[in-house]
Chains A and B, each alone.
Chain A
Amino acid sequence: MDDKRNNLMKKLSIYICVLLALFASLPAAAAPMEEQVVNIIVTSQKYDYSSPWQKGEITRANITGCVIDGNRIVTSAYAITDNVLIEVLKKGEPRKYSARLLIRDYHCGLAVLTVPDAEFFNGLKPVEFSEGARLFGETARVYKWDAMTNLKEYSAELNKSSIRFYEPGCGVLMHQFSTVMNEGGNGEPVFINGKLVGITTGLSSETKTLYALASDMIRRMLKDLSSGAYEGMPFFWINSVDIQNDVNLREYFGMGSGDSGVMATDVPSISSGGDVLKKNDIILSINGTPIDDNGMYDSGRYGKLYYYGLIHLDKFVGDEIRMKILRDKKKIDVQFKLKPIPDNCCVIPLISNDRQPRYYIFGGLVLQELTIGYLESFGPEWKKKGEKRMLYYYDTVKSMADEGADKKIVILNKVLPDPVNKGYQYYGNLVLKKVNGTAARDIAHLKKLVDDSQGRFVMFEFAGNSSIVLDKRSALTGEKELLKKYNISSPYNDSDE
C-alpha cells in the first residue's frame, strides 16, 4: 500500500517538475500576438483579359501579415495580386499606414512589405521562426485580423507537410492543417508553441483544409534578400515520373535491387540541368541524398518530402547540384549550376499576374498574347471550358519551350465590329499563325509585321485554316474612330510591365 502511495507521490512530483519546466520554457519572452500580427488592407484591380486595354473590377480585401526583423512585414503573394494600394494597421488602432512592396515572388508565394513611416513599427516585435523538432501532432494557432479591430485566434491541426507546386516548376514546402475557419488563407501567420511555422496561402472551405507556406520558405527568401539582389527560386523545370516498384520498368532500365529514384521524362533545355539531364535518366540521388521509388527523400524534420525539396528548399541560384543518375544502364554522376527563373521562358508565360496583357488592335481585331490570365477568363472551370487548342498549348508548354524564349502564342481574342471588319465579326479565340506569310513571334513582332507591310492588304492566318484580310489603309484611317467608339486609349501594349 505505502509503496504504491510513494510511487504515486513520486510520479506526481515528476509531473509537477515537468510542468514547471514547461512553464519556464513557455514563450514568456515572446511578445503578445497583436504585437507580431498586423492587419493589411489591399485594394486590387485585375486586368480585364477579355478587354485587355482596360482594367477590371476594383476589390478591397482585409488580409493579415506578420512582422519580421528589419521593419518588414511578410504575407502571401497571392493575397496581394494586382494591388493598387496596400495599407497596414496595427493593434486594432484606426490609423492606416501606406505600405510599400519590397519583394513579391509568386514562385515561392510570399511577399515582403515595408512601411515608409517607421513609426508604424513602434510597439511591434518580429516573430520568431520555428526550428528544430518535428511538428506532427502539435496544435497550431492561426491569427487573423477581423474587422480591423479584433485579432481572432483559431486552432488548427497539422495534417501533413509536403512539397506542392503552386507555380510551374517550383516546389514549395506547404503545411496542411485541418481547421474550423470559414474565411482565411490570406497571409494569416500560423504558430506552434508561439513560433511561426507558416503563412497561409489558401483555404478550402469544402475540406476545411488550410494551406500554409512553411516558414522555411520565408527564411529562404530572407537569406536570398540579405545577400544583396533578390534572385528568387532556382529554375528546375522538368517532367518526371516515379518509378514506384515497377519491376518490369526496373528490369528494363537495368536498375539494381538497391537502386531507387525518379525518371526524367521531359527535360527542356532552359531548365537548370537542361544541358546535362536527358529523357529517361533515372535520378538516384541529389547531393548525396537518395531518392526513393516514390520520388521522396527523408527530410528529417518534415518526414518524407518530394525530391524537388532538395533543389528548392535551401538551395539558391548559382548553387551546384550533384546528381547520381542511371543512364543506359550505367550509373554516372552529373552536376550543374542552378539557374534563375527566366523572365521570359515559354510560349505561355509562367505567371501573368500584375502584368498588363500585351495586345495589339488593328482594324478592330483584338490580338494578344496567350497567358494564364486569359485562360482563366473562361471562368473557374477554365480547364474544361477553355478553347481546346489553347488548353492543348497550355498542357504542352514544356515541350514547346525550346522554340526560343521570345516565342509567344498570339491569339485573336475577338473582333470589335466595325465596317472595316465586316464579315469577320464572329471570329474569336483563334490562334494566329502568320501575318502576310510570316510567323508572328509575339505582339511586338506582330505589330512590326503589320507596320512594315508594304502591300495594300494585311493577311492574318489562323490555326484551323481560317484567315482574315484587311485593307491596311482603311484600317488605319478608321482606327481613331474605332478606338474612340470602344473607348480604347491605346491600340497596343507591348511593354513587359
Chain B
Amino acid sequence: MSEHTTESELNFTRVFAAPRELVFRCMIEPEHLTHFWGPTGVSTPRENIKVEAHPGGAFETVLVNDADGSEYAMRATYVEIVEHERIVWIDPDSGMTTTSTFVDLGEAGTEIHIRQTNVPEPMRGPEAQAGFLTSLDRFASYVVTISGGSER
C-alpha cells in the first residue's frame, strides 16, 4: 500500500490589483469575508462568520443560498497563519487542507495561490512535490476536452 503516499491536490491562482496586506486581510477578517466568501448566488452573513486567527482557532461560515434561503455551515480549523504570507486551514470532516499563499507582485498587485490537498498533515518536502504532483484540476479539464465534447 505504499502507493497511497502519493497525493492529489487542486490548485487555483488569481492575481488581484491590490497590495498584499489588504488581500491578506480580506481573506481573514469577517467584515471583508462577508462580501465575497459565498460563490455566485450565495451570501455569507457577517454575524455567522467566526474567525479565531491563530493555529487551532475556528474558521466557520454559514453559506446562505439567496434563492431559497437554505443554509450550509462550513467549519474548519486554522493550522497556520503567517501574517501577509500564508493561511492554512483544515476541514476536520473531510481532512482536506486548504493553503492560501499570498505573493507580492509589486506594481502588478498580489497573487493568491490556493492549494487544496486531502492529506491532513502535509509531510512532503518541496522537491517531492515538484516532480509528480501535477494538478488534478488541469487533468480534469483535459479529460473533459478529449472526451466530453458531446455533452453540454
- A and B physically associate: no
B residues within 8 Å of A by Cβ?
Answer: none
